[in-house]
Structure formats: C-alpha cells, structure tokens
Amino acid sequence: MPIDLHTHSSRSDGTATPTELVAEAAAHGLDVVALTDHDTVDGWQEAATAAVANGITLVRGIELSTRYDGRSVHLLAYLPDPTYQPLAAEMARVRRGRDSRLPLMMERLRELDIDITEDDVRDGAAEGAVLGRPHVADALVGKGVVGHRNEAFEKMLGPGGPAFVPRYATSLPHAVELVRAAGGVPVVAHPWGRNRVLTAAALADLQQRGLVGIEVDHQDHAPAAREELRRIAGDLGLVATGSSDWHGTGKVDHELGCNTTDPAAFERLLAAAGVAATAVVAP
Ligand code: AMP
Ligand code: ZN
Ligand code: FE
Ligand code: FE
C-alpha cells in the first residue's frame, strides 16, 4: 500500500496539473497521495475529482513557508480546514510576500545584464500559480541563461546568490499552532535537508505546540540523517513519514513513490486529524 505524502502541482512550482499529478500517482501504483503545494489549497478540488476518477486516495495538504532562527523551514499541513481564517489569512500574507519579491529579483537579474521581466516569469507559469524561485529559474532556462532549474539555484537564486531576495515567512512555532487550530496535522518537511536548524530539543519544543511528525525519508536526507531523525522521532513519539516531494519534471531524483510512508504511520496522522481513512477522499 504505497503512500506518498508530499507532492507539488502547477498550482505552485510543480510542472503537472493536479489532474495529471493524481493520474501519474495512480499509474505509479500509489494508493495514497498528498497534494502539498506551497502556501495554497488551490489545487485541492481538481485533485479530489481526479482522485475519484483514478480510484486513489487523496490527502489534502499544504507545504507552508516558515522561518526558524532566521532560516527557512517547510511545514507540511495535512487536512487543515482551509476556511479557518487565521490560516487562510497567513497563507495570503506569504503569497503577497512572494509577489512583492519578484520585481526585486528582476532588478537583481537585470543588474547581471540578464534581460528578464516579471511577465517572462508569469508567462511560463500556470495562471494564478503561487510563484517561487523555480518559476524564475524556468524563465532563465527559457532564455538560455542556464541549462536547468538546479543551475539557476546554484548560480543565482540560492541563499547568498546574486539574485537572492528574502521574503516573508511565518514563524515556525506559530505555523504549527495555526495548523493545529485549523484541525490539521503539522509535519515538519525535510528538516535536515539544506540546513539543520532544527535540533532534537527544538523538535521537542515544537511537539509541545502541536507538531505531530517529522518527514524522515526524503531525498535531501543522507542515510545517516534518516537514521538519526528516525531515532529522534521514536524517542519523542513523533510520527516518521517518507515522501517524494515530486515536482514533475521540475526536480530530478524525486520520482513519485521514491520514498513512502508506512501505513501505520499514516493511520497515526489520520487519528491526529480526527478522521477515518474513508473521510480523506470525498471531494
Ligand atoms: P521559493 O518558494 O521561492 O522559496 O523556492 C523554493 C523552492 O525551490 C522549493 O520548492 C524547492 O523545492 C525549490 N528548489 C530549491 N532549490 C532547488 C534546486 N537546487 N533545484 C530545483 N529546485 C529547487
Ligand atoms: Zn517546491
Ligand atoms: Fe520543501
Ligand atoms: Fe516540497
């Protein structure tokens, strides 16, 4: 019963529509897939319709942009009430921060003598998509400035890069509380990927605020990091999850189902949300 709890569609920075994503997931033999676009629930409805058509269980999720100790941390939120206003308002604030960063990034790139406008970036993204650096990277690929997204991050867009511009993100402890208040299940995404700002003590503190799980099996984690995180999750009683963080063709080595979540761990997440397994699929 393969379960993949972290994927992105073109409603944020994935390359497949929610319908295509769900069909791909079913074709890969997954039984459960979570759609976790960055800072939006925009793809949920389309994905739910596709889930029914493809006979696969959809978990409605979000990957929230947060900040801890000045560093970027991603928080997965499963099954929150999207009409809970404090959470909806906070996501809207994060999206505004993403939009206001774009013109500044364009200025930085033009200072590097790259002829690029916001329209170039928007033209390459789906209508109304939550825009991020991957869309800027796509525009740079389109112009032949770089060969692929990864190169754009390494040369220009990553932290410390010449076109890096910080943006607003929710404080992590607050985000955990918001997700809980919205009836959702917070799971910290790839905590030991790009930085290791979250220590075992920090995770224990977040657990007091309502954190339920840790994404342990993720491509950004080396085997030793996975082992250590699994031990911490076990010690604290946090749920250990695994997922692909699929972005379609936008991210290499993140194939659907490349990491999966144990069915017993999935049951614990559902129990934390207070829903039965049958409740997650209905559109
Ligand atoms: P942003 O949302 O603008 O902060 O951009 C972060 C997104 O960029 C995340 O979804 C990452 O998956 C993606 N990302 C970060 N580094 C890379 C990379 N080296 N290659 C491709 N995508 C990346
Ligand atoms: Zn992404
Ligand atoms: Fe992430
Ligand atoms: Fe992600």
* 190-231 pLDDT per residue, tens: 999 988 999 999 999 999 999 999 999 999 999 999 999 999
C-beta pairs of 110-119 under 8 Å, 24+ apart in sequence: 111/162, 112/156, 112/162, 112/163, 114/140, 114/143, 114/145, 115/143, 116/140, 116/143
Q: Give the per-residue pLDDT at 283.
A: 41
Enter the pTM of the model.
Answer: 0.97
Show the beta-strand stretches assigned E in the chain: 3-4, 32-38, 57-68, 71-78, 170-171, 185-188, 213-217, 239-242
Closest-approaching ligand to the CA atom of 39 = 1
* 82-94 pLDDT per residue, tens: 999 999 999 999 9
* Ligand 2 center from residue 153 Cα (angstroms): 12
Considering only CA atoms, which of 200, 210, 209 is closest in space to residue 230? 200
* Ligand 1 center from residue 237 Cα (angstroms): 30
Backbone angles phi, psi at 76, to 5 degrees: -80, 135
Kindly state the average pLDDT of the residues 104-117.
Answer: 98
Q: Which residues line ion ligand 2, judged by CB < 5 Å?
A: 8, 13
Q: Which atom of ligand 1 is nearest to the CA of 251?
A: 21
Nearest CA to ligand 1 atom 16: 153
What distances in angstroms separate CA 231 from CA 187, 217, 234, 244, 274, one per listed residue? 16, 12, 5, 21, 26
Q: Give the per-residue pLDDT at 282.
A: 44
Kindly state the average pLDDT of the residues 148-154.
Answer: 96
Residue 279 has pLDDT above 70, yes or no: no
Share of the chain above pLDDT 90, in %: 95
Ligand 1 residue neighbourhood (C-beta within 6 Å): 13, 38, 132-134, 149-150, 153, 251
Torsion sign, CA atoms 266, 271, 272, 274 = positive
Kindly state the average pLDDT of the residues 163-173.
Answer: 98
* Ligand 1 center from residue 276 Cα (angstroms): 33
Q: Which atom of ligand 1 is nearest to the CA of 101?
A: 3
List helix spans (H) across 67-160: 85-111, 118-123, 133-142, 149-152
Q: For residue 275, name the pLDDT band (cuts at 50, 70, 90).
A: confident
Identify the structural domains of the chain with CATH numbers, from first to last. 3-90+168-281 (3.20.20.140), 101-157 (1.10.150.650)
Considering only CA atoms, which of 83, 84, 38, 41 is closest in space to residue 60? 41
What's at 239, amino acid-wise?
V
Closest-approaching ligand to the CA atom of 7 = 4
Kindly state the average pLDDT of the residues 107-121.
Answer: 97
Q: Give the per-residue pLDDT at 277.
A: 61
Q: Which atom of ligand 1 is nearest to the CA of 98?
A: 3
* Ligand 2 center from residue 199 Cα (angstroms): 23
Considering only CA atoms, which of 52, 16, 11 is closest in space to residue 254? 16
* 46-78 pLDDT per residue, tens: 999 999 999 999 999 999 999 999 999 999 999
Mean residue pLDDT of the chain comes to 96
Q: For residue 267, name the pLDDT band (cuts at 50, 70, 90).
A: very high
Considering only CA atoms, which of 275, 13, 255, 272 is closest in space to residue 133? 13
* 7-43 pLDDT per residue, tens: 999 999 999 999 999 999 999 999 999 999 999 999 9
